[in-house]
Amino acid sequence: MTIQWFPGHMTRARRQIEAKLKLIDVTIELLDARIPMSSRNPMVDDILKGKPRLVLLNKADLADPAITAEWVKFFTDRGLKTLAIDANTGTGVKEILPKCKELMSAKIETQIRKGINPRAIRGLIVGIPNVGKSTLINQLAGRKIANTGDKPGVTKGQQWIKFGTDMDLLDTPGILWPKFDDQNVGMKLAATGAIKEEILHLDDIAFHTIRYMSEYYGERLKERYGIEELPEDSENPNEVIEVMEAIGRKRGAIISGGRVDLEKTSLLFLRELRSGKLGRVSLEVPEEYL
């Protein structure tokens, strides 16, 4: 299955970002802590044109904490200020403004030396669909300003949000890119909810994810679904299907003839994965990108 989702408003969003960039002091790149590189739009470096950047690994509450720590080091070692946060609960959010001020410290000091009262920092927040931009904005504001949802494509336009006297933040719609050169990236984006389910074959997404979890988080599958045997060879599709069928039987996804409804099973599994019911899971590690 080839995964692709690039609706027209994403092209418009890119043009709008580029038009506003001259007004921006700091950019905030929001990534999914479970899949930091797969959720990183490869067009962003070109779009942001070298603006100072803070990288936020959101949904860290759903990701493997040890692997998230490795990702923070990975990005920090590459010269990017990086924080792991959870926009839903506010964990790490209070550190965002101080980090933005650090990025602007030289400019702020120059303004003070010249007797200029530093104005509010103007920030731009970018990220893929459903990565939590609107939730983060509401958390920063302490009230509901931006619409949120558990599906991609909620934010359709740009809006300026004012946070006291220290920062003005420009929210933007989530932007994917026109083509996934590596379909594994598309699979991980689909598994974590960044692509509309209506265009997907969920059984393919679940199969890909269960195969990964069988290898790296097998005990989670055993505990959650009462599975006794995991695949000896995760590359053997028949063995992975057996795990999917065991999950389906555990969840009562049975159709006529006692067969397992793999589509329903896949939906149930992905919902449990995304909600954290399978524990804190990361679907990629920095070593893959060294």
Q: Is 135 labelled a binding residue?
A: yes
Question: Which residues partner with 167 through β-bridges?
Answer: 121, 163
Of 84, 289, 103, 100, whose CA–CA distance to 182 is shortest? 289
Q: Is 25 labelled a binding residue?
A: no
Residue 156, CA distances (Å) to 11, 87, 262 in order: 12, 20, 33
**Structure-block tokens of residue 197:** 């389910």
Q: 94: burial class by Cβ within 10 Å (0-12, 13-18, 19+)? A: exposed
Q: Is 186 labelled a binding residue?
A: no
**Structure-block tokens of residue 195:** 């692509």
The beta strand positions in the chain, using DSSP E, are 26-32, 53-58, 81-84, 121-127, 159-163, 167-171, 254-255, 259-260
Q: Is 60 labelled a binding residue?
A: yes
Q: Is 184 labelled a binding residue?
A: no
Q: Pick left, alpha or beta for residue 257 (phi over 0 → left; psi -120 to 50 → alpha; otherwise beta).
A: left
Cβ neighbours of 241 (radius 10 Å): 17
Angle between helices 262-274 and 237-250 in degrees, nearest 10: 80
Q: Is 190 labelled a binding residue?
A: no
Q: Is 248 labelled a binding residue?
A: no
In angstroms, the CA 66 to CA 71 distance is 9
Q: Is 153 labelled a binding residue?
A: no
Q: Is 131 labelled a binding residue?
A: yes
Residue 195, CA distances (Å) to 129, 131, 143, 191, 265 in order: 7, 11, 27, 8, 19
Residues 6 or more apart whose CB falls under 8 angstroms from that of 17 comprise 47, 124, 126, 158, 172, 175
Annotated binding site: 58-61, 130-135, 174
Annotated binding site for GTP: 58-61, 130-135, 174
